[in-house]
Amino acid sequence: MKTVTFDVETIPDESRRDIIRPIILERLQVDKPELFPTEPEDVSPAMLQDLETEIDRIMSTTPEYCKLVCLGYAIGEEMPHSGLVGQVGINFGHTITESDLLNAFWRLVERSDYIVCHNGLNFDLQVIRTRSSRLGIKPTRALWNVKPWEEVVLDTYAKRWPSGSKGVRGRKLDQIAEVERIPIPEGYQAFEGFTGADVMKAWQKGNLDSIGTHCELDVIKCRELARLWGGVFMPQVFLPWDEWSYEAGEWTGERPEGW
């Protein structure tokens, strides 16, 4: 059985900013009127920066407004890998492009029995599909309209909260992972403070390694939630850890290799 766990990182699609920005501004005037002072003298550089930061956030988290810059994935129980736009890829022989990442994703999932993600049905897969259609990348398989007994995509978020996010608090992947006390490999623990909100700044500074490590860590957290909730909220596709206590949040025996 082949199981692929994946995560993506995105930034605003600058080629569409002039089209998207007015749309977002109109929405923000209703949703966040505090960003728009009524008196000109009340406008400060800090407020203008807050407005632009919010526009960037919305663009980065809306599949139609963003572009893919990082793909993280793990096959089965192996440690995750990541590829980033702008890096020289060992398996590509050239500087990685967004199209390379999209093609790599479709190759990965072509014969997968399960595709595991967190909020992937609402975001990650929508980004993959949107960018694939715009860049002329052909999917290797259909991930829609599958029969109930042919369920392929296991979205940990959708499985845990099938009714949606209304009324749910603390539902971000980092928050859920911390609450559930899932294990994190020692090599990734130093990167716990880096969040999705830091991706744009890291990209602007050229700090691609931090983005890749963050994406890989999200893959681990997603897989570990699937392990914990398997057989209860979703199919059991990863064997439970015998040596990890979710109550104590610690290993009670020998750590697995690489952890």
End-to-end CA distance of the chain: 23
Q: For the chain, which residues make up each domain, given as ranges?
A: 3-247
Pairing of strands 114-117, 153-155: parallel
Whole-model pTM above 0.85? yes
Chunked into runs of 10 residues, the chain (259 residues) has average pLDDT values of 96 96 94 83 81 94 96 97 88 87 96 94 95 96 73 92 64 91 93 89 94 97 97 95 94 90
Q: What pLDDT is attached to residue 47?
A: 83
Q: What pLDDT is attached to residue 257?
A: 87
Instruction: Give the separation between CA 219 and CA 77, rounded to whole angstroms.
Output: 11
Q: What pLDDT is attached to residue 146?
A: 64
Q: What pLDDT is attached to residue 233?
A: 95
Q: What pLDDT is attached to residue 145?
A: 60
Question: In 10 A of CB 258, how many CB atoms?
Answer: 10
Instruction: Give the separation between CA 239 and CA 71, rounded to whole angstroms.
Output: 25
Helix, strand, coil: what percent of the chain each, to 5?
Answer: 45, 15, 40
Which CATH number is associated with domain 3-247? Answer: 3.30.420.10
